[in-house]
Amino acid sequence: MNRLIMTLATGFYVGMIPKAPGTWGSLAAFLPWFFLKDLPLPAYLTAMFLIFIVGFFVSGSAEKILDRPDAGPIVIDEILGMLITLTLAPPSPAAWILGFILFRIFDIFKPFPVSWFDQKIHGGAGIMMDDVMAGLYALASLQLLWLVIK
Task: Specify the pLDDT at position 17.
Answer: 95
Count the Cβ atoms, other than its own, within 10 Å of residue 70: 17
- pLDDT band for 48, please (50, 70, 90 cuts): very high
pLDDT digits (tens, 9 = 90+) for 6-24: 999 999 999 999 899 999 9
Helices 41-66 and 123-149 meet at what angle, rounded to 10? Answer: 140
Q: What pTM, to 2 d.p., does this model score?
A: 0.96
CA 41 to chain CA centroid, nearest Å: 18
Q: Where are the domains of the chain?
A: 36-149
Task: Specify the pLDDT at position 69.
Answer: 86
Is the separation of the CB atoms in 45 and 99 below 8 Å?
A: no
